[in-house]
A and B are shown apart, each in its own frame.
Chain A
Amino acid sequence: GAVVSQHPSRVICKSGTSVKIECRSLDFQATTMFWYRQFPKQSLMLMATSNEGSKATYEQGVEKDKFLINHASLTLSTLTVTSAHPEDSSFYICSARVPEVGGQPYNSPLHFGNGTRLTVT
């Protein structure tokens, strides 16, 4: 079945440094990927929509210069947290829709990566 692979699963970095998180679709092409942030014991918050070959679309309140998204190929999107601060510590999850034959693209379910636990010290 379709798999979305996210790497790394866990990262600890020092304040002021940058961290890159990768999201790959392993056996399908994903023109669109989604990046979520999850705070402890809370639901997922959509941060941005990553579009292959074009600029990402950011949700209101999400700093695009801080959370850089690159979607250079149909199977890879990256999220870079720049100049990380302790308040950026969180669980980041990527997802992608798997196209279904004969189905409408917006009805197909999202498949999620296993998430990245970012801790900024």
Chain B
Amino acid sequence: AQSVTQLDSHVSVSEGTPVLLRCNYSSSYSPSLFWYVQHPNKGLQLLLKYTSAATLVKGINGFEAEFKKSETSFHLTKPSAHMSDAAEYFCVVTPRGTGRRALTFGSGTRLQVQP
């Protein structure tokens, strides 16, 4: 079994300040983890992924995430928020190397960026 918990449904930051979106997971298997961003009425765009290589993963648009097995976390960070970062963010987990197809989506975190 696997699950994903995005600890904050809504995060508000000021432009230029750091962003932290939290994600905790549970998985019976070694997981692959992803962060996706969704702008209004759009599909999801992949920000970054962890699949067993380096635990600190760098993605697009200045985002990065660190896989911490001991904490079962995969928090998304960005040093300085931009207005264009305002969107919905989803943390996704899938079992790695088991042949299973299932992805589990978190409930999403809406990021608001104040000018």
Q: Mark A residues whose CB is within 8 Å of B.
A: 4, 6, 9, 32, 41-44, 46, 49, 91, 93, 95, 103-104, 106-107, 109-115, 117
Contact = CB atoms under 8 A, between A and B. Distances in A.
Interface stretch (B11-19, B41-49, B71-79): B41-49
Contacts of B105: 43-44
Size class of B's contact patch? 20 to 34
Given A4-B43, A43-B108, A115-B42, A110 B103 contact: yes
Interface of B: 32, 34, 36, 41-46, 49, 51, 90, 94-103, 105-108, 110
Nearest to A4: B43
Q: Chain B: interface secondary structure? A: loop
A19 to B, nearest CB: 17
A49 B101 contact: yes
B108 A112 contact: no
A88 to B, nearest CB: 18
A106 B94 contact: yes
Given A43-B90, A46-B103, A107-B51, A112 B97 contact: no
A110 B100 CA distance: 14
B83 to A, nearest CB: 21
A1 B90 CA distance: 21
14 contacts: A4-B43, A9-B41, A42-B107, A93-B43, A95-B43, A103-B51, A104-B97, A106-B32, A106-B97, A106-B101, A110-B46, A110-B103, A114-B42, A115-B43
